[in-house]
Amino acid sequence: MAAGKRKPSTSARRLEEIRRRIDVVDGKIVALLDERARLARKTAECKGRLRRGIYQPAREAEVLRKVRARARLFPQKSLAAIYREIIGASLALEQPFTVGILGPSATFTHAAALAHFGHSCRIVFDASIADVFLRVEKGEVNVGIVPIENSTEGVVVHTLDRLVESDLVIVGEILLPVQHHLLVSPATLRKRGKGRGGKKFLRAILSHPQALAQCRQFLEARYPGIPVEPVGSTALAASAAAQRSGVAAIASELAA
């Protein structure tokens, strides 16, 4: 008796049918995004005739509120993140959209810029908060993002000083939950695995002074006696930890 091909099971056929329907839905989503992009370009033309700025934070907040209100099965937080990317890409379609921030890359300000404007914007890194203000004043970037207050360490004095001295105004607010991470390089981890475990495998812990202050109780409880060294930013600390064995950094997940 000749053996024939086994027929696909009911579950397998059902899976293929669901996948075909997902492909159809994906096609509709892309087509609708293209339509939205065409409408975004038309809004740019209207803004130009009305002499309005390309960045309208109040309108963006309204869009996000409506999106969250319409969410049913899809998580609101994820939907908001997707729409941040859509709005950012739309801004970039209207004209090249540039954001000035305090560098280097992978700082919490960098994370805030990506979270708010998406990955389609062009980011320019400056060496100081004053340089960010100056770049916006000269029209070299569309907007600047600077830290203004930390819930545990208070206001950022340099930013407040520049706001008093400059004609620039605040047009929007980004609230960023700060989550610190303790970072070490693979070489440092190997030291720990070769019997130099516990706290002895670390020679120093680096970070921005504000991050060190925020993590003071954690460091005192978990790593007593390990020297802490302040550096210019959490991103610089992460870079040092990546290059120097025995050194740890407190920095963001983006920096990791």
State pLDDT tens for residues 40-62: 888 877 877 777 777 778 888 88
DSSP-based three-state secondary structure for 122? strand
pTM of the model as a whole: 0.64
Residue with tokens 């293929």: 16
| Helix-, strand-, coil-residue percentages of the chain, each rounded to 5 | 50, 10, 35
Taking the C-alpha atoms of residue 25 and residue 35, their distance in angstroms, rounded to an integer, is 15
Tens digit of each residue's pLDDT (9 = 90 or more) over 172-211: 888 888 889 999 988 887 776 555 555 567 889 999 888 8
DSSP-based three-state secondary structure for 181? strand
Residue 155, pLDDT > 70, answer: yes
Residue 5, pLDDT > 70, answer: no
Do residues 89 and 40 touch, judged by C-beta distance below 8 A?
no
Taking the C-alpha atoms of residue 114 and residue 94, their distance in angstroms, rounded to an integer, is 18
Taking the C-alpha atoms of residue 115 and residue 136, their distance in angstroms, rounded to an integer, is 20
CB atoms within 10 A of CB 39: 11
Residue 94, pLDDT > 70, answer: no
Do residues 162 and 128 touch, judged by C-beta distance below 8 A?
no
* Nearest partner of 102 among 122, 129, 123, judged by Cα: 129
Do residues 208 and 230 touch, judged by C-beta distance below 8 A?
yes
The residue length of the chain stands at 256
Residue 141, pLDDT > 70, answer: yes
pLDDT score for 153: 65
pLDDT bracket for residue 118 (50, 70, 90):
confident
Would you give the DSSP letter of residue 6?
A: P
Tell how strand 204-207 and strand 228-230 pair up: parallel
What are the φ/ψ torsions at residue 123 (nearest 5 degrees)? -110, 130
- Distances 158 to 52, 92, 131, 170, 230 between C-alpha atoms, Å: 29, 30, 11, 15, 18
Taking the C-alpha atoms of residue 242 and residue 238, their distance in angstroms, rounded to an integer, is 6
